[in-house]
Amino acid sequence: MTTSFSQFDTEPAAIKNWLDNLPIASVGETARQLYMAMRDVNRQDAVPVKQHFHLLEGIGEPLELILPELHRHYAGKPLPLSQKRRKVADLYTQLLRQAILGYQQVIAHSIELNRFGWKKVVTTSVHRIFYYSSLLLSNYRQLYMPYQKGMWQQLYWIYQLVEKYNLLNAKVTGLGEIPTKTSIAVEFKKLLLHSLLSPNLFKPSELKDVLCNLDIWVQHVVIKTARHDENNTTYAFTLETDYPPGLIAENISQAENQLIDVRYLDISNLLKRIRKIMDNAKPGAEAIKLGKGRLSSHRTLLILLNNWGRPPTRDGERRLIQGHAEVAIGVSAIHYVISSGRHTNQSAHEPGTAAEQDNDFSITIPPIIPGELSSLELASAHNSDDDIWDSAYFEPDAPAPSWTESMRMKVYSYLNAKVMNISKGGFCIALPQNGVEHIQTNELVAVRGKTGQWQLGEIRWMVCPTTGPIRAGIQKHSQIVKPAEIKLASGIKSQPIKCLLGKNEEGHVLFLPNMPANFDHTKIQLIVAGQTRSIQIQDSLFTTPVGSAHQISFTDTRPVSPQLAANADEYESIWASL
């Protein structure tokens, strides 16, 4: 073997000698050598298929050792990442890309030569591609990075290939800490479940457990060629496109689109299984049994249920706009900003140019034209990049917008964001990376235009590219939001808990941060603008790792106190405004 990677020796004896002398104790140097070797061989056209395959299989073991070591340097760290951590994340990504590319070339050359024994090489290569792609997809989502263009199209092509040759049930010994034999079909289902996870919501140890337990969850997942029900637990993906699985494809009519090859991922039984496990668990138990001697935590199962059972969906047609909005992120920041007295932006009362007024943003949704949404079709390639929900992970070619400085308000601040598009149920915003201290999916956000009022939403997806603004899809929960506090009505002295009060079609909604106790059907005191009322928390609307939302009812029927009677109009306005 020569000292230059430009002439990497792929003879079996040379590969064995090189692997035996890898400096495994030095993660950085080992990662560099693995990357350079794979990149060089992938660029050569004359490398025999068998030798290329042998090299990739030999690299699998050291790659499995160093990938977790690289991952721990940025896993669970606040976004945006520092430059040093970003470089480590890029190296992790490039190692996986080179391994996937190598196996893709092995498949292409094996089928082209059509020699004896090619099926074993192809099935193993497909199995490895699905496994490494699962890690890559998870890494993209953890960093909120856009998917590599063409990635999903390539994965679908490989799936169609093994389906054509009846190789889906072929079993291959996998990689990982405990190598087990799994079929290609199972590995593809794992990949799809990977793509629906939000890894940043898990602690590193929790994410490791989730990945180890995927073989349990995948047993309750089914891929169908036809859709038989109308529930919201079926994802769909079209094999001729470059789009990830999403609920928007549920609107594809196979009768009208017979040329579109659609597959449906039904996870309804999986969600039922997770709920059953949680219901049967002992209250307060730290470890919950999953079967096969596996354990998980209540928090981990809750995140899985939220990820897989509550996907981001777009409600109505998207409208492209260019507007400005003020954004506060997190319950504490929202509570502080709204309570600070800045209920109107002073600049909104100053005369401005016509261009500035046209560029203003109000989150009030314009009325839908009757019949405008009578039929939904698969988004075309022209507008799919801007789709607010289902094509969230594609980076557009539009230049990054310029920003104004964020306004600091004592401890918390709000950011000046740009609104990119809007639909009936939410909107897409772009935030400057240098102004965001911490952000994640499921975080509550308050948003308002210059002339509008604060409205409450939730981050359902994000894209955090290496450079440029962070884009986030916001699902709107309440047209109005008020800062509030709650106290237990049991007489126990405790500090009030900051929360947010909103309203939906069913009535008042209370948005709470993560709480150690379950307050369902518990009588508590709600404090808004210094006034107190007794309430009871009713049904939970949703629960995420960041917080929860609950429908509430007012239980006090006593008359207004004499102190409040003098300010009856002000008292009534507090509650009437909601």
20-38 pLDDT per residue, tens? 999 988 999 999 999 999 9
What's the CATH code of the domain at 497?
2.40.10
Give per-residue pLDDT as tens, 516-526: 666 655 668 88
Residue 465 — pLDDT band, cuts 50, 70, 90? confident
Q: Which of 92, 96, 9 is nearest to 52 (CA)?
A: 9
pLDDT number for residue 318:
62
**With 70 as the cut, is the pLDDT of residue 503 above it?**
yes
**With 80 as the cut, is the pLDDT of residue 573 above it?**
no
Residue 547 belongs to domain spanning: 482-576
Q: Residue 291's beta-bridge partner residues?
A: 294
What's the CATH code of the domain at 18?
1.20.190
- 494 in a domain, yes or no? yes
The residue-averaged pLDDT of 193-200 equals: 84
Provide the sign of the torsion angle of the four alpha carbons 75, 96, 313, 308, taken in this order: negative
**With 90 as the cut, is the pLDDT of residue 62 above it?**
yes
State whether 176 and 88 are in the same domain.
yes
- 73 in a domain, yes or no? yes
Provide the sign of the torsion angle of the four alpha carbons 509, 510, 513, 514, taken in this order: negative
**How far is Cα 457 from Cα 43, in angstroms, rounded to an integer?**
48
Assess contact for 232 and 314: CB atoms under 8 A: no
pLDDT number for residue 348:
34
- 213 in a domain, yes or no? no
Question: Which one of 461, 478, 495 terminates a domain?
Answer: 478
State whether 3 and 23 are in the same domain.
yes
For the chain, how many structural domains are there in total? Answer: 3
CB contact set of 220 (below 8 Å; sequence gap of 6+)? 267, 269, 270, 272, 273
What's the CATH code of the domain at 342?
2.40.10.220
Query: Angle, nearest 10°, between helix axes 49-71 and 12-20?
Result: 20
- 103 in a domain, yes or no? yes
State whether 454 and 493 are in the same domain.
no
pTM, two decimal places: 0.67
Question: In this prediction, what percent of the chain has a pLDDT beyond 70?
Answer: 73
Q: How wide is the angle at C-alpha 90 spanned by C-alphas 85 and 96, nearest 5°? A: 135
Select the more confidently predicted residue: 252 or 431: 431
Query: Angle, nearest 10°, between helix axes 298-309 and 204-212?
Result: 70
- 218 in a domain, yes or no? no
**With 60 as the cut, is the pLDDT of residue 343 above it?**
no
Q: Residue 456's beta-bridge partner residues?
A: 446, 478
Residue 172 — pLDDT band, cuts 50, 70, 90? very high
**With 60 as the cut, is the pLDDT of residue 406 above it?**
no
Query: Would you give the DSSP letter of residue 249?
Result: G
Is it true that the peptide bond before 312 is cis, omega within 30 degrees of 0? no
Q: Which helix (H) or strand (E) holds 418?
A: strand 412-423
- 3 in a domain, yes or no? yes
Look at strands 531-543 and 426-431 and give their pairing. Answer: unpaired
State whether 460 and 498 are in the same domain.
no
Question: Which one of 169, 195, 221 terminates a domain?
Answer: 195
Average pLDDT over the chain reads: 76
